[in-house]
Amino acid sequence: MNQDLLINTVNASLEPYPMEELTKIRLRLLKEQKKVFDFGTGDPQIPVWQPMVDAMKSHMGSYSSYPSVRGIPELEKAHLSYLKKRFGIEDSAGLMTVPSKGSKESIFHIALSLIGRQGKKILIYGDPAYPVYRSSALFAGGTPYPVSLTESNGFKLEPWNLPLDVQNNAAAIWANYPHNPTGANVDKAYWLNLIDWCHQKDVILLSDDCYVDIYDSGFDDPSQQHLRPLTPLMYSTDRVISFMSLSKRSGLTGYRAGMMAGDRRILEPHLKARANFGVACPTYVQHGAVVAWNDDEHVAQRRKIFTERVHFASQALHGLGIEHACPTSTFYLWAKIPSKFKGDDVKFCLDLAEEGVITSPAKWLGEKSSGYFRLALVPELEETAEAMNLIEKFIRRSI
Ligand SMILES: Cc1ncc(COP(=O)(O)O)c(C=O)c1O
């Protein structure tokens, strides 16, 4: 029997998860005993800060019990304290925080509570984007609505320019600044406009703040702190939910820890729903998360590493004549495909991968994007330098 007849149409029509394609290529190259420089997936391999490891180890007892979706009280305290310290967000009756098992699952599952509210089924998001916004809408029976983000407007998502029927039928909108993959960021005025639009149109603002703490290490200087990325939660909890993560902030990608913070009127019923999903963060990981949210020094050290890599790679790309803007947040470079490749980002990345340098083509990071490739500055500086030499040779050879 045709496999597609055994599953539903949403699953049958899913494109392979783009990162899995990259993994396949990488594994093939490794099998062929080629040296691989992997700038594909944003998973920086920096040792986990020891106090987090210690906290987790000390809570791995000999009995095993189910964790709760609400989380341990110490974690809620750490969430609230982080929000206050980092963003000046005061605890209030309207604010709630909920632990997540990394932000990916929470991004996926929120659609199940929001799609269909008041009959509204559209989920708006920018393109290129984290692919889970789209798949979450589809699995929840909603309508994904990608909006092209272009360089000409700083990759800003501006829903007020969309057709009125889309604006009126949107259940929620995803914003993601600092933005993966472009590294773009927005200012307070943008957030205020977006919040205002959400309130006028009664749309839930979902802010993917995965990279909010990954900014230029120069901004750690108190005189530069006004340049640090913002979250819309600083300006309103009304119909705003922020999705934060310890993956990039604290390097806990493998342990899976994040939080949702925002409008209690949404998160409280959503928590009830989450009890069905099997997504409670293991208790020992929650203890590691408490340590992680309570400390910024280890994050400042990670920022230094990322900033050095971003500046180094950006200079190297400039030297090769590859156009891009050097971002002040995230660890991604979003670069234009050299003109001789005629904008064919997939061919560029596949051919470059054969040389051992894995990067992500724009087409795999969105439905409407093309002509760019993304470098996740995951490898160390020496490896990045080696990879840049390979990119240079590859481009020269392709002339
Ligand atoms: C924009 C964005 N959002 C969310 C995530 C999910 O991160 P995690 O599930 O590790 O918290 C990622 C991961 O790369 C991302 O790039």
- CATH code at 364? 3.90.1150.10
Whether residues 260 and 318 fall in one domain: no
pLDDT at residue number 4: 84
Q: Is 121 exposed, middle or buried (0-12, 13-18, 19+ CB in 10 A)?
A: middle
Cα–ligand 1 centroid distance for 342 (angstroms):
30
Whether residues 99 and 229 fall in one domain: yes
Cα–ligand 1 centroid distance for 392 (angstroms):
30
Whether residues 110 and 223 fall in one domain: yes
Domain end, chosen from 230, 260, 295, is at 295
pLDDT at residue number 43: 85
The CATH code of the domain that includes 188 is: 3.40.640.10
Cα–ligand 1 centroid distance for 105 (angstroms):
9
Residue 53 lies in a domain: no
Cα–ligand 1 centroid distance for 103 (angstroms):
6
Residue 57 lies in a domain: no
Whether residues 202 and 304 fall in one domain: no
Residue 202 lies in a domain: yes
Pocket test for ligand 1, best of 210, 241, 250, 331 (most atoms within 8 A of CB): 210
Residue 55 lies in a domain: no
Pocket test for ligand 1, best of 248, 252, 293 (most atoms within 8 A of CB): 248
pLDDT at residue number 399: 65
Whether residues 278 and 224 fall in one domain: yes
Type of residue found at 139: F
Residue nearest to atom 6 of ligand 1 (CA): 104
Q: Name the residue range of residue 236's domain.
A: 62-295
Query: Parallel, antiparallel, or unpaired for β 122-127 and 143-148?
Result: parallel
Cα–ligand 1 centroid distance for 210 (angstroms):
6
Ligand 1: which atom is nearest the Cα of residue 100? 11
Domain end, chosen from 280, 295, 310, is at 295
Pocket of ligand 1 (CB under 6 A): 42, 102-104, 107, 130, 176, 180, 208, 210, 245, 247, 253, 258
pLDDT at residue number 16: 73
Whether residues 186 and 218 fall in one domain: yes
Residues whose CB is less than 8 angstroms from the CB of residue 374 and which lie 6 or more positions away in sequence, other chains included: 39, 181, 332, 333, 334, 335, 359, 360, 362, 365
Closest C-alpha to 235, from 264, 200, 270, 196:
196
Ligand 1: which atom is nearest the Cα of residue 247? 10
Whether residues 152 and 179 fall in one domain: yes
Closest C-alpha to 53, from 202, 309, 224, 251:
251
Domain end, chosen from 237, 272, 295, is at 295
Ligand 1: which atom is nearest the Cα of residue 129? 1
pLDDT at residue number 248: 96
Segments of the chain with pLDDT less than 50 = none
pLDDT at residue number 238: 98
Whether residues 23 and 96 fall in one domain: no
Whether residues 279 and 332 fall in one domain: no
Whether residues 13 and 146 fall in one domain: no
Number of domains in the chain: 2
Ligand 1: which atom is nearest the Cα of residue 253? 10
Q: Taking each helix axis as running N to C, give the angle between helix 345-354 and helix 381-397, from 0 to 180 degrees, rounded to the nearest 10.
A: 110
* pLDDT digit string, tens, across residues 223-237: 999 999 999 999 999
Cα–ligand 1 centroid distance for 245 (angstroms):
7
Residues whose CB is less than 8 angstroms from the CB of residue 315 and which lie 6 or more positions away in sequence, other chains included: none
